[in-house]
Amino acid sequence: FTITVPVNPEPVGTNSVTVEVCSDVAFSFNPQAYVTNGVASTFTWTVVYDGGINVVSGGTGIGPIAATLNNVSGGTLNAVYTVTATSGSICAGNTFTVTVPVKSEPLGVTLTAAAICSDASPAYDLQNNVNTGSGNSIASTFSWVAADNPDVTGESTTPVVGSFITDVLVNVTGSTQTVMYTVTPTGTNGCTGNTFQVSIPVDSKPVGIASTEAAVCSDASFTFNPQDNVDDGNDLVSTFSWTRTLPSGLTEKIGGGGTGSGSITETLENLTSTVLNAVYTVTPTSGGCVGNTFTITVPVNPEPVGTNSV
């Protein structure tokens, strides 16, 4: 007589490497795809991570493999899954491994940059941010956008693509203002990193208000302090340089030859028959920040001119 013994096949898996995935991007796969003899199976698995991988989410060790893994190491790290396949409920095959390479995302550092003057660009290097400090040096491209500061103009409140923050920021408030940029880095490996913030302090420039002073007499010394004009603007304590223009008929008797610094002190002579204006163009500077020029107009009354007669 015969005894027939049916022998169920065991599943045969092959050690494999999946397509690379990015840090913080969910992936999943069915180990059935790696069973080379086609035996329908159920699966259990364990996993070992390279140092530097953080588990954002992961499976239970049964069935399909699905996870989200974080890698900010600057290089590719592996998650190695050791899989046991069982056909039906009784025939377990030899274990096999499936390796998942996890590419690093770029890592930037939230910080406050060096202050700039009003009317200047920070020209802040975003790649340098990723390359230094607590960053991970992955070559990247960047998108950046500013949060609106109502006391500053010039900030980009819609996203801009570029490796430098290039806005020209204007602050005339009389105090330092800060513009905060949110930056999104994307590595040249295709992986997008977490956003980080770069805050740019913007020092105010002085603002002077143009004025026309009370008329002075020909041949009489006068002094005007441009700080008074800035006090009418935004009150920043400033230093000053100035140049002067004179119309025909108005001449300098005592002065700086048409240029000077600090207060304006001069004596001008007007021998015409009408009031003539001396116009001083003043440049204010406060804390190294140069403000826009403004004018101080000084009307000079004519003096009477007599002639020796008999």
Mean pLDDT of 14-37: 96
What pLDDT is stored for residue 101 in this prediction? 98
Q: Which residues pair with 67 in a beta bridge?
A: 27, 58
**What backbone torsions phi and psi does residue 13 show, to the nearest 5 degrees?**
-100, 160
Decide if 294 contacts 248 (C-beta within 8 A): no
Q: Which residue has the tokens 């989410």?
A: 57
Work out the pLDDT band at 56, boundaries 50, 70, 90: very high
pLDDT (tens digit per residue) in 187-214: 999 999 999 999 999 999 999 999 999 9
Q: Which residues pair with 69 in a beta bridge?
A: 55
Residue 90 has pLDDT above 90, yes or no: no
Least confident interval from 56-60, 95-99, 226-230: 56-60
CA dist., res. 53 & res. 237, Å (int): 54
What pTM did the predictor assign?
0.91
Tokens linked to 104: 């690093």
pLDDT at site 133:
80
Residue reference for tokens 């001083």: 280
* CA–CA gap between residue 59 and residue 207 (Å, rounded): 63
pLDDT in tens, 273-284: 999 999 999 999
What residues pair up with 250 in beta bridges, in sequence order? Answer: 270
Q: How far apart are CA 81 and CA 60, in angstroms?
A: 12
Token pair for 240: 């000053």
**Residue written as tokens 């699905």?**
66
Give 59's pLDDT tier (boundaries 50, 70, 90). confident
Residues 226-260: tens digit of each pLDDT: 999 999 999 999 999 999 999 999 999 999 899 99
Asked whether the predicted pLDDT for residue 88 surpasses 80, the reply is no
Name which of 118, 89, 109, 287 is nearest 193 in CA terms. Answer: 109
Residues 141-154: what's their mean pLDDT?
98
Band of residue 68 on the pLDDT scale cut at 50, 70, 90: very high
131 in helix, strand or coil? helix
- Mean of pLDDT over the chain: 97
Query: What was the pLDDT predicted at 246?
Result: 98
d(CA 98, CA 84) in angstroms, rounded, equals 11
Residue 89 has pLDDT above 80, yes or no: no
Judged against a pLDDT cut of 80, whether residue 178 lies above it is answered with yes
pLDDT recorded at residue 199: 98
Taking the C-alpha atoms of residue 24 and residue 17, their distance in angstroms, rounded to an integer, is 19
By the 8 A CB rule, do 37 and 9 touch? yes
